[in-house]
Homo-oligomer: A and B are copies of this chain.
């Protein structure tokens, strides 16, 4: 009996508005126990002092705890530019998939890393633990590395408590404040994905790899947030044994204006942008994820940018607004889960784009 992976996209009137989810649960469309993860894009600044994510998380936890469920929550603040606050619910069920199993249907695997020590955050030890968990997640989904479209990670970050504890133990950690551990945990996890998918050979890596901007995976999106010192690994792809209309694809963007690669990904998923997706096709997009950063060099295609020189607005906000503008206009849809912090995730100065789509009913 085939398994079924499903993706639902909902809008929010405020960070605490989960009314569409509760309605879908009531309608039997969503089974809380079957939800693997939820992406939430809230309207704060997406920076250190953004509590809109907490409001959404508290609300979701309250809902799911009623059912004894605790899906992985991937929260990102910042709806700059045209972006629209929304959330994406991913569930997998067994036995009720419409149609026959197919190597083209969305497949989903999940695993967790072992418990990490505070001093492992941002090191090769974390990368190794990540690679191990990616392998387990692929096995969970019945996927090979070739089947994987991309790996979503909810990464452990340092907490005030963990930092204080390490100080007590007189052990060096790589960041003195939680916010500062985010780049490090993202980097280590991405290296782990690259190793697990065969993009890098872990045996050749030294600790310096964590900070080496030339290393990259084209198939990871890493979001920090776990405070229990474990990382959640979710692999998405197409694999045998899965059925239903849902699909997923991913592609690296070479820079922040790489409309060509974004369009190419849509075409590979069977869409016909010209240049914008027709409304009927736009309605078959259920989730758009982008992780990217400005180039360290202050140049995009030979022209100077000033993202690093704006003391009022932080760089990720510029990236989300600009890439959000490109992708929203391509898709005719402003629900883009766009986030900064893309260490090793796609080309330096570009990033990784992933799209969840649905086949047309008559496909």
B80 close to A322 (CB less than 8 A): yes
The one of B12, B303, B328 that contacts A86, using a Cβ cutoff of 8 Å: B303
Question: Does A325 sit within 8 A of B, measured CB to CB?
Answer: yes
Which residues of chain B are near A324, meaning CB under 8 Å?
322, 325
Q: List residues of A (52-101) whose CB comes within 8 Å of B's CBs.
A: 52, 54-55, 58, 79-86
Binds B, one of A167-175, A235-243, A253-261: A253-261
Chain A interface category by residue count: 35 or more
Question: Does A219 sit within 8 A of B, measured CB to CB?
Answer: no
Question: Does A214 sit within 8 A of B, measured CB to CB?
Answer: no
A333 close to B303 (CB less than 8 A): yes
A80 close to B276 (CB less than 8 A): no
Residues of A within 8 A of B (CB): 11-13, 15-16, 42-45, 47-52, 54-55, 58, 79-86, 160, 177, 179, 256-260, 263, 273, 275-276, 300-301, 303-314, 317-319, 321-326, 328-330, 332-335
Cα of A324 to Cα of B300 in the assembled complex, Å: 13
Which residues of chain B are near A257, meaning CB under 8 Å?
82, 276, 325, 328-329, 332, 334
Cβ contacts A to B, 9 pairs, < 8 Å: A11-B303, A45-B310, A47-B312, A81-B322, A85-B306, A257-B276, A260-B276, A312-B313, A313-B317
Cα of A39 to Cα of B275 in the assembled complex, Å: 29
B48 close to A51 (CB less than 8 A): no
Which residues of chain B are near A259, meaning CB under 8 Å?
275-276, 329-330
Cα of A2 to Cα of B329 in the assembled complex, Å: 41
A311 close to B13 (CB less than 8 A): no
Q: Among A259, A307, A329, which residue has the most Cβ atoms of chain B within 10 A? A: A329
A13 close to B328 (CB less than 8 A): no
Which residues of chain B are near A326, meaning CB under 8 Å?
325-326, 328-329
B334 close to A49 (CB less than 8 A): no
A45 close to B311 (CB less than 8 A): yes
Q: Report A325 CB to chain B, min CB distance, Å.
A: 3
Which residues of chain B are near A48, meaning CB under 8 Å?
309-311
Which residues of chain B are near A160, meaning CB under 8 Å?
13
Which residues of chain B are near A177, meaning CB under 8 Å?
308
B82 close to A322 (CB less than 8 A): yes
Minimum CB distance partner of A312 in chain B: B312
A313 close to B80 (CB less than 8 A): yes
